[in-house]
């Protein structure tokens, strides 16, 4: 697998040189044995550029080092303007060029048709749970929701405040229900689903076929990780803090004919018509700027197709390591719906060993591997900007950790 990873394009995944693994693992075990508290950065046998670690956080998440370096260079004086992007007027020509370039590059990446608007708004996907029904339904209307995990469940719960919600299909947090079993309504104003469940690690592998009904998707945790046929959707929204930038901005891609129908009681900042151009109020300028840098970086490094190829390869290496561990590690998700972005796994023989894993991994230069509090275990989020070397380093650590603790695995009751 290491050879397969080495053949992938690396220009867009520029993190840290990999620490010397053997010495890292020895250091980690020494820390555990002596209960000494040593900062993870001090455990690295080689200094990484900027002192960076492999960050497997679910969001806010890792960003390309080149993007961070470019942002750093322009922090005090953006392109000779004399001001930082954080300081410039959002209505000035400088920021107007920034937000326009960000939109243009996103349109190029996803081949967004001309009859769709792109909005850069605030509030995260959680706000979208409310402004979608406020803009697309009237009181008493019905909508269909597909529930496959925590975020799609929250979306359905929020929508119930504004319209009638029919849960047309509900999974078990481990798979996407077969579409033949969905109970869709003919009168539904739209069908809503979450393309990738960040917490559970459940991902749709194709676009649902809902006929003539409007399709709405929350793509927060796999946005720009694979090609998307935007024309099949009425609306797509995504929080930026997974794949395309820092927290603070949410991208909306909405078909033109769906704009301008908000309910009278809709707050101005949640009304898509009012927010056309993303300039009704002060937008999250810095976050939009960072997203623009990421979009440009992706275009320079092969675009969406290159992202997808690399993401698939990274996920395969990690899942192969889990499945090949003879039950030491387990991923509970149906193989047909395993996420390429968020990979949860457990050590079923011992929850205590999971805590040791997270601690030793941190000492070996890999952070934010603890699973979500509602699920437990571990979770590796391997978004676009996670380098292939980071995933390989994690896999090597997993194998070494298993070898060191396999006796405990076989002596614990299963």
Place of tokens 């976050």: 287
Which three-class secondary structure state does DSSP give residue 62? coil
Active site residues: 151, 218, 242
Handedness of CA 83, 12, 232, 126 (dihedral sign): negative
* Residue that the structure tokens 């230069």 belong to: 365
Cβ–Cβ < 8 Å for 43, 37? no
Alpha-carbon Rg for the chain in angstroms: 22
Would the CA dihedral through 236, 239, 243, 245 be positive or negative? positive
Place of tokens 């919600």: 165
For 120, phi then psi, to 5°, come to -115, 100
Strand 202-203 to 196-197 pairing: antiparallel
Q: Kindly list the distances between the CA atom of residue 92 and the CA atoms of 76, 182, 302, in Å, as whole numbers in the listed order.
A: 17, 49, 32
For 371, the token pair is: 């699973």
H-helix or E-strand containing 6?
A: helix 2-6
3-state helix, strand, coil in the chain (%, to 5): 40, 15, 45
Q: How many CA atoms lie within 13 A of 404 on its CB side?
A: 18
């Amino acid at each position: 697998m290491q050879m397969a990873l080495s053949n992938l394009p690396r220009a867009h995944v520029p993190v840290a040189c990999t620490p010397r693994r053997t010495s890292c693992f020895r250091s980690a075990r020494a820390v555990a044995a002596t209960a000494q508290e040593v900062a993870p950065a001090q455990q690295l046998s080689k200094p990484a550029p900027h002192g960076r670690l492999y960050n497997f956080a679910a969001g806010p998440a890792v960003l390309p080092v080149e993007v961070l370096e470019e942002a750093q260079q322009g922090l005090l004086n953006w392109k000779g303007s004399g001001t930082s992007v954080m300081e410039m007027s959002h209505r000035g020509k400088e920021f107007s060029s920034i937000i326009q370039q960000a939109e243009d590059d996103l349109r190029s990446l996803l081949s967004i048709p001309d009859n769709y608007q792109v909005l850069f708004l605030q509030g995260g996907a959680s706000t979208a749970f409310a402004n979608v029904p406020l803009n697309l339904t009237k009181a008493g209307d019905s909508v269909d929701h597909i529930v496959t995990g925590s975020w799609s469940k929250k979306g359905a719960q929020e929508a119930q405040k504004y319209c009638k919600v029919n849960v047309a299909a509900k999974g078990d947090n481990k798979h996407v229900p077969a579409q033949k079993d969905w109970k869709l309504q003919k009168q539904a104003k739209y069908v809503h689903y979450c393309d990738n469940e960040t917490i559970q690690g459940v991902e749709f592998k194709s676009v649902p076929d809902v006929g003539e009904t409007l399709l709405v998707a929350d793509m927060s945790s796999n946005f720009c990780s694979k090609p998307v046929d935007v024309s099949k959707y009425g609306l797509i929204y995504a929080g930026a803090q997974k794949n395309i930038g820092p927290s603070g901005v949410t991208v909306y891609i909405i078909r033109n004919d769906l704009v301008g129908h908000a309910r009278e009681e809709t707050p101005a900042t949640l009304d898509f018509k009012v927010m056309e151009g993303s300039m009704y109020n002060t937008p999250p300028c810095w976050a939009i700027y960072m997203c623009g840098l990421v979009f440009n970086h992706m275009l320079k490094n092969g675009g969406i197709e290159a992202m997808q190829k690399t993401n698939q390869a990274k996920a395969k290496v990690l899942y192969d390591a889990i499945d090949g561990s003879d039950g030491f590690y387990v991923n509970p998700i149906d193989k047909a719906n395993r996420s390429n972005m968020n990979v949860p796994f457990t050590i079923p023989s011992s929850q205590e060993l999971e805590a040791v894993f997270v601690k030793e991994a941190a000492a070996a230069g890999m952070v934010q591997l603890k699973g979500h509090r509602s699920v437990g275990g571990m979770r590796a989020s391997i978004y676009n900007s996670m380098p292939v070397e980071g995933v390989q380093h994690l896999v090597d650590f997993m194998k070494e950790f298993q070898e060191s603790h396999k006796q405990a695995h076989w002596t614990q009751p299963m």
